[in-house]
Amino acid sequence: MRAVPGAGFAAGLLRNTRKTELPSAPATRVFLARLVARTAPFALLRNSLAQRSSARRKMREFLAGWCAAPALCELLRNTRKTELPSAPATRGFLARLVARTAPFALLVLALEAQVSRTPPKPPADFKPGAPVAQPVPFSHKTHAATGLKCLECHPIPDGGDYAGLPPESKCMACHIAIKNDSPSIRKLAKPVIWKRVYRLQEFVYFSHQVHYRRAGLDCTLCHGLVATRDVLFQEKPLDMFTCMKCHQERKAANHCAVCHDTH
């Protein structure tokens, strides 16, 4: 069984705090004991949620530590009356606090596990978005028919969170000789501000590198049949139910910190 989080620090603090150093040592030491006892579990809980890859393991450590009755009893036995003038009241307070905290930790762990395995209810029927008119007319259907692949125009740079857009110079490498008299092609002489078709909420984390390169998922899973479209529109939902259902079907991690920043 793991040691109680913060117990070593609390015990050391109480042992090293002498009556001669603090004029109001009894009340001060009781206050510090309560502060450490109350802070340690919530600090560990906060840190566990901040770590995407180890949130569930940290939660288990949190539960194991605060349910460690032998370690708590040992801590209380070693807290002698000569070190804490109000030791009986302090020990009683700590015992009651731990007794109340352990069930709460168990409840938090159970809820976290339940959320990780149960997708939210499906939203109302999804309706595809309206076609998005771009400043330069661009047909994915026409360009895909020439053999262009997704990553040739939408590279995934280092870091992998976003898929990029092609620079105008890449477009002109072909169009210097193809339709170079078109008014639309001439717009490529200046930087083009393309309009978004899909947009995630700011509190949602998504990595193209993880989904495309590591998991090997095809672009059409999230973006639809882009290669058959002259004008793009949102044809796939981006709601929480869809994402969690996909993770569940592929046995991927599905707890909150995977997709939501908690920093």
- Of residues 81 and 192, more confidently modeled: 192
Which range is most confident: 87-101, 117-131, 170-184?
170-184
Question: What string of H, E and C letters represents the secondary structure of the chain?
Answer: CCCCCCHHHHHHHHHHCCCCCCCCHHHHHHHHHHHHHHHHHHHHHHHHHHCHHHHHHHHHHHHHHHCCHHHHHHHHHHCCCCCCCCHHHHHHHHHHHHHHHHHHHHHHHHHHHHHHHCCCCCCCCCCCCCCCCCCCCCCHHHHHCCCCCHHHHCCCCCCCCCCCCCCHHHHHHHHCCCCCCCHHHHHHHCCCCCCCCCCCCCCECCCHHHHHHHCCCCCHHHHCCHHHCCCCCCCCCCCHHHHHHHHHHCCCCCCHHHHECCC
Quick one: average pLDDT of 75-87?
A: 53
Q: How confident is the model at residue 18 (pLDDT cuts 50, 70, 90)?
A: very low
Q: CB count, 10 Å around CB of 204?
A: 12
Tens-place pLDDT, residues 5-14 = 444 544 554 5
- Of residues 104 and 148, more confidently modeled: 148
Q: Is 101 a residue whose pLDDT tops 80?
A: no
- Of residues 225 and 27, more confidently modeled: 225
Q: How confident is the model at residue 211 (pLDDT cuts 50, 70, 90)?
A: very high
Tens-place pLDDT, residues 42-54 = 555 555 455 544 5
Half-sphere exposure in the Cβ direction for 143 (13 Å, CA): 18
Q: Is 73 a residue whose pLDDT tops 60?
A: no
**Lowest mean pLDDT, pick from 38-42, 155-159, 220-224:** 38-42
Q: Is 251 a residue whose pLDDT tops 80?
A: yes
**Chain mean pLDDT for the chain:** 76
The pTM for the full model equals 0.54
Q: Is 232 a residue whose pLDDT tops 60?
A: yes
> Quick one: what percent of the chain has pLDDT higher than 90?
43
